[in-house]
Amino acid sequence: MIDLLGVKIYGDVTIGNFLIAIFIISFGVFLAKVLTTNLRRTLGDRIEKNQRELVLKVVYYIIVLVAFLTALPFLGLNPSGLLVAGGITGIVLGFASQSVVSNFISGIFILWEKPVKIGDQISVAGISGYVEDIGIMSTIVRTYDGLYVRIPNNTLFTSEITNLTGNVARRFEYVIGIRYSDDVDRAVEIIRGVIEKEPFALKNPAPAIFVNDLGDSSVNIVVRIWSPVQVWYDVKMALLSRIKEELEKNGIEIPFPQRVIWFANEPEMKHRRGE
């Protein structure tokens, strides 16, 4: 058995050395996993998920890197020698792994710049959804219809990112048309009353309600409301129907598109009909 372990695979590296190297790397990975699992449990919800995942990733990769560097001498590789021997090999590898390195560097910049966080809703490169994970190489987005999309960090970093939940509050807008015969001031007052009753329609910035357009069939009132970003879509969905109900309850109607047609020869037609 001892003889078997002493069998050389290449150079001075024996099977024993090889097994030790595998053991060190496996132990490193095992240790990293145990430590990050415990760390995740300990941190719980005490820090933001985004920061927690970043800490866990850093801890994980540092332990694995240390294990890997520790194992290298057993495989006959001297890390300091690698630096010297880099040269042309490094350049070749650099070109070959250009996209990998590009994604890696982009990942570091994304984690540094933090244009997005885990849990944010983003729209990037034609994809919209929730950020599930930000990795070193790629970012995972769960689209609104539940699809798993992996975006390479290079694509994410070089694209225009719209973070839909990056600020604490956001604004949404309705255009509500009423009949020309309706009282505009009364309609504005009713809409204001409905908004006032909604807790998450923010008091400040105050909602803006004004006549924006005299349309073909209706007087168009624009309603702009600010809401906390966590609930803005719920508020947007709920408020419009409440406004419609309240307007109708007060006799103010939202008209159908209509067109009044006057015939040029109408007096003549009336005359023929004997009117």
Partner 1 sequence: MKVGYGVYPLQEMELKFGRHTLRIVKESEVFRYIRESKDGRVEKVLASREGKIAVNPVEPVNLPKNVTNYLEINFKNTLLIEPGHRKTFFTTFPVEIGVFTTGKGDIELIDVFSNVNLKYSLYGDPRNGVVCRYWESELYTNLPERNPLEEGIMRISIRNNFGEWVEVSRAVFNVYLMKIYYSDEMVFSNAEMEILSKVSAETKFLMDTMRDGMRKSVEVFTPRKVPVVTKRFFMEWGV
Tell me which residues touch partner 1 (CB under 8 A).
43, 45-47, 167-170, 196-197, 199-200, 202-205, 226, 228, 230-231
Distance CA 125, CA 72 (A): 41
Smaller CB distance to partner 1: residue 67 or 201?
201
Minimal CA–CA distance to 172: which of 243, 70, 103? 243
Distance CA 136, CA 154 (A): 10
| Shortest reach from residue 211's CB to partner 1, in Å | 26
| Shortest reach from residue 209's CB to partner 1, in Å | 17
Minimal CA–CA distance to 236: which of 227, 249, 247? 227
Q: Contact at 8 Å (CB) between 120 and 135?
A: no
Smaller CB distance to partner 1: residue 8 or 171?
171
Distant-in-sequence, close-in-space partners of 223: CB < 8 Å, separation ≥ 6: 173, 174, 175, 176, 191, 195, 207, 208, 209, 243
| Shortest reach from residue 32's CB to partner 1, in Å | 21
| Shortest reach from residue 13's CB to partner 1, in Å | 45
Smaller CB distance to partner 1: residue 80 or 167?
167
For β-strands 138-143 and 127-134, DSSP reports them as: antiparallel
Smaller CB distance to partner 1: residue 28 or 207?
207
Smaller CB distance to partner 1: residue 22 or 206?
206
- Phi and psi based region of residue 168 (left: phi greater than 0; alpha: psi -120 to 50; beta: remaining): alpha
| Shortest reach from residue 259's CB to partner 1, in Å | 42
- Give CB contacts under 8 A, 24+ apart, made by 76-79: 76/10, 76/11, 76/12, 76/13, 76/17
Smaller CB distance to partner 1: residue 196 or 268?
196
The amino acid sitting at 122 is I
| Shortest reach from residue 227's CB to partner 1, in Å | 8
Q: Contact at 8 Å (CB) between 130 and 149?
A: no
